[in-house]
Structure 1
């Protein structure tokens, strides 16, 4: 009887041992294995934390890698908490299709404002009129005097989250697109965070 009882315990342990072997990853590929096609298919899939950018229509070069306030050298500890405390004022970058939409919108805005710049018309009302003429909602376009011969503007595009901000001066018209701010629902730069 002793033999039968020991064999029964051993047989009961067999399913438990098999489950432990599967949980340990038996049969999975390891970093040194030659995976061939499996590796190339894994490389094509973007991880959730890594936004994918691709060249947009009419873009002359490949997109620049995204930069954020937290990309400083991790080996150097911060000497103060300025970046951490002011992170709410750093706009979200656009990626993928939204980035292409933003670049296209920037191109349209610059084209609409260039005739004003060439004429020397730096009145905020003229800039606002040109921008609303592009189809942006009157309530979502802000324009303001930016120095003696300059105008600033901010557009909250209905296709959220997409914001356009820029300036026009005697020298040039500048604009950029971004995806809003953390802890803030509008396109205007927040004045306070948490």
Structure 2
């Protein structure tokens, strides 16, 4: 005979906990339940971080870049944006934004001589970036076509990624990804 009394007793607290977590009340938005009772203050909403001009920047900072703003205002019905939100990097604000802009300037300045010489090897790129003081273990560089290199610097919470090609050296700073430590782009959902 198999005894399941211990399992049954363990399930009762789990069921009670599940009911409490789900909420058992009958109050719905718009109901007048509790209208005669004391009023509640509105819940605090998170404030938008304040950006200020960074050294070398014009007094009116450029608005932060957002995901494609030309798309429809309604959320997609297939939940693509919701399901892929873990792959959207956090923007930098305040002093972190200034630190990111400074890091981007240093990175582009260090890689520009390589671009002008036509040196698009991942090794040269990595050497130039570690020459800025970044740890070799935190710098990744990859060949990106015959005349291009992609790179990522993981100085979390500051991340810098970019490309260098025959025409231009571009870098961008961001603050990591949701549900994922570090600066490399996550490949799985949450």
Spell out the pairing of 1:10-159 with structure 2 (5 A cutoff). Answer: 48-60=46-58, 62-69=60-67, 76-157=74-155
Q: Shift of residue 60 of structure 1?
A: 3.5
What SS does the aligned partner of 1:139 have? helix
Partner of 1:37: none
Taking only aligned residues, the RMSD between alpha carbons, in angstroms, comes to 2.2
CA spacing shift, 1:100–1:90, aligned 2, 3 Å? same
Separation of aligned partners in 2, 1:48 and 1:74: 25
CA spacing shift, 1:128–1:49, aligned 2, 3 Å? same
| 1:69/1:83 contact within 8 Å kept | no
Q: Shift of residue 147 of structure 1?
A: 1.1
CA spacing shift, 1:91–1:75, aligned 2, 3 Å? closer
Structure having the higher helix fraction is: 1
Answer with 47-56 or 70-79: which moved more.
70-79
State which structure, 1 or 2, has the greater radius of gyration over its C-alpha atoms. Answer: 1
What SS does the aligned partner of 2:96 have? helix
TM-score by length of 1: 0.70
Structure 1: gaps of 5 or more residues: 1-22, 26-46
Separation of aligned partners in 2, 1:82 and 1:71: 15
Separation of aligned partners in 2, 1:79 and 1:89: 19
Structure 2: gaps of 5 or more residues: 1-37
Partner of 2:174: 178
Runs of 4+ in 1 over 6 A off after TM superposition: 70-74
Separation of aligned partners in 2, 1:73 and 1:190: 24
